Structure 1
Amino acid sequence: MRTSRTELLLGRTLLVVALVLTVLPLLSMLSAALQPADRNPTGLSWPSDPQWINFVTAFQVGHVWQLMGSSALIVLGVVPASLLFATLAGYALGGLRVRGGRAVLVFLVLGLTIPFEALIIPLYYQAQAMGTLNTQWAIVFPLIGLFMPFSVFWMRAHFVNVPVELSEAARVDGASIWQEFRRIQLPLATPALSALAILLFLWTWNQFLLPVVLVANPLDRTVAGALTFFQGQYYSSIPLLNAGALIIITPAIVVFLIFQRQFIKALLQGAVKG
């Protein structure tokens, strides 16, 4: 079915609008960050004398380098474990279709409906009982659990769409379930795993509330907590706050731009079947 010119024009218009709504706030933050640190910028205007030194000041005041290292450790603890558990569970529910899988799926969907903020107090007492309070493990363990409902649901959606004939052919050739999973299912799941890894990275990197509640030392939190260092001396400096925010979100933007092809491929996977 061919796309009409009206639909094509409407689609391009919506893409342009989405692009403007995405880029405009970033440009506004950049223009504000380049204003003198003691000035309160109003509106979107490029300064006549850009203060690039604001980024250096924000980097130092916000202890961004230390917090990036802390965030990297948390990401390395959360993302690989979440991918492993979600892939195994998703294959069991979507590929093997184990008994009781529907009940488990309903349970996971219910987990998606629970507000994150409602779990903060129980997580605090649980971390205290486990002895992980005020450590980075207090962030890693809860995030793995909180990400599981969506992650398993994501991977299950992939394995459900894998043709059953591939599994049947592997069984005829004498392959075990593990061999089939490792040699056939995992290579096919690469786009879905890549997209899920990007989402988990972004969510973990930008996590703010959980580290603030469960970790007392600011330098052991995620990089999003860098903005808390501007409380006090620089709390009224809007340019420094904007400079710090841009530094924080830059790694997330870079990661998404690098892996955007895999992300889009995973979203479109299964839409066209040959």
Structure 2
Amino acid sequence: MAAIAHTATRHQRRRPWRWLILAVAIIVALVILAPLLLLLLNAFKTSADYSTNGPLAWPTAFSLQSFQDFLQIIDYPRALWNSIVIAGLVAVFGALVSLLSAYAIGIGRVRGSTTMLAIFLLATMLPQEALIYPLFYGAQATGTYNTVWSVILVFIPLQAAFGTYLLSSVMSTMPPSLLEAAALDGAGRWRILWSVVYPMMRPTLSVLMVFFFVWTWNEFFIPLVLLGDQSVQTLPIALATLQGQNNINITVLNAGSLLSLLPTLIFFFIFQRTLSRGLTVGSVK
């Protein structure tokens, strides 16, 4: 009985701290969601309502006029398709290249693996402004300028550099006895990769693909330079050129931003379980 009373007393002492932590978490969540809520609030206002009452006021009447104006100015389906194609192909092939290169470095133990990892890490740290001139002239020389392939072929190795660094670090911690047992059973390098290494790396690869998709979707500077034609521009580029070309009002810009944000939110909610499960498996390992 004494032990039960002591446990109950200890839980009662912890309750105020739990309520305090919950209150802090709610405040942090509201701060994080504030820009999204403000965007949602102003997207359904008319320009006159925004000019009269300001950005923080509740709309006098919810209107879809800003969405209609945005869809008349911007070819939204085309820009959405370009973003999906670029981000999807980069996510898939970036993860594949990361797996193959990390397998050679982390398990194959090639010479100079430490130097290679340092180069991959350096590639992730280089600013895009330092790469844009060779990328621009390279796209012109290969005939891929103003096509989605110019961006895809650039971001696959850029994203794979980070993926290789991450996966090779994880693979280097795999138990050698597992790989030796597979080799003794007659499995070759390719069989070991796809039958032993890939199943263990699949949760981490799923997380990488989600990150690669979101990162590539939000890329701005390199696509802005390499995709000058409106027919191949992505959603972030279409939004950026909207105001300069048409003197657009802020409510239309908010509506366009909301439409460009919705696909990534849907993608995140669809793969939320994959993301959380991959991070949990990685932490357990």
What TM-score do the two structures reach when normalised by structure 1? Answer: 0.88
Written as runs of structure 1 = structure 2, the 5 A alignment for 1:8-157 is: 12=22, 15-38=25-48, 39-40=50-51, 42-157=54-169
Q: Distance in 1 between matches of 2:281 and 2:188?
A: 26
Question: Gaps (5+ residues) in structure 1?
Answer: none
Q: How far apart, in 2, do the equivalents of 1:222 and 1:64 lie?
A: 9
User: What is the root-mean-square deviation of aligned Cα atoms in Å?
Assistant: 2.4
Task: Quickly say closer, same or farther: Cα 1:163–1:60, change in 2 above 3 A.
Answer: farther
C-alpha separation in 2, matches of 1:160 and 1:11 = 38
Question: How far, CA to CA, are the matches of 1:109 and 1:78 in structure 2?
Answer: 19
**CA separation of 1:83/1:7 partners in 2, compared to 1, >3 Å: closer, same or farther?**
farther
1:190 is matched with which residue: 192, 195, 202? Answer: 202
What SS is found at the alignment partner of 2:31? helix
**Residue matched to 1:167:** 179
Deviates more, 1:124-133 or 1:242-251: 124-133
User: Does 2:227 align with 1:215?
Assistant: yes
Q: In structure 2, how many angstroms separate the alpha carbons of the residues matched to 1:270 and 1:238?
A: 43
The alignment status of 1:204 with 2:233, answered yes or no, reads no
Please say if residues 206 and 222 of structure 1, whose CA atoms lie closer than 8 Å, have aligned partners that are also in contact. no
Letter paired with 1:33 = A
**In 2: Cα distance, 1:258 partner to 1:200 partner:** 15
Amino acid at match of 1:31: L
Q: Alpha carbons of 1:242 and 1:272: their partners in 2 closer, same or farther (altered >3 Å)?
A: same
Q: How far did residue 234 of structure 1 move?
A: 4.1
The amino acid of 1:84's aligned partner reads L
Cα distance change of structure 1 residues 184 and 10 upon mapping to structure 2, 3 Å threshold: farther
What fraction of aligned residue pairs are identical, expressed as a percent?
A: 33
Contact 1:67-1:223 within 8 A present in 2 as well: yes
SS at match of 2:146: coil
- Equivalenced residue count is 270
- Between 242-251 and 161-170, report the one with greater CA deviation: 161-170
Letter paired with 2:242: F
SS of corresponding position for 1:242: helix
Q: 1:170-181 to 2 correspondence within 5 Å?
A: 170-181=182-193
Assess if the C-alpha contact under 8 Å between 1:212 and 1:218 holds in 2: no
Task: For 2:163, give the aligned amino acid.
Answer: S
- Post-superposition shift, 1:10? 6.9
Shift of 1:71: 1.8
Q: Greater CA deviation, 135-144 or 23-32? A: 135-144
Amino acid of the residue matched to residue 94 of structure 2? S
Note if contact 1:90-1:152 (Cα within 8 Å) is conserved in structure 2.
Answer: yes
CA distance in 1, matches of 2:268, 2:214: 9
- Partners of 1:105 and 1:155 in 2: CA distance: 11
Aligned residue type for 1:189: M
Distance, in Å, in 2 between the alignment partners of 1:157 and 1:9 is 39
SS in 1 for 2:252: helix
User: Is the alpha carbon distance of 1:19 and 1:218 closer, same or farther for their aligned partners in structure 2, counting shifts above 3 Å?
Assistant: same
**Per-residue CA shift, 1:39-91, capped at 9, x if unaligned?**
33634332120112322332332211111112222234322221111111112
Q: Is the 8 A contact 1:78 1:144 kept in 2?
A: yes
CA spacing shift, 1:37–1:153, aligned 2, 3 Å: same
SS at match of 1:271: helix
Per-residue CA distance 1:114-145 (angstroms, 9 max, x = gap): 11122112211121222222222211111112
- The structure having more radius of gyration, on CA atoms, is 2
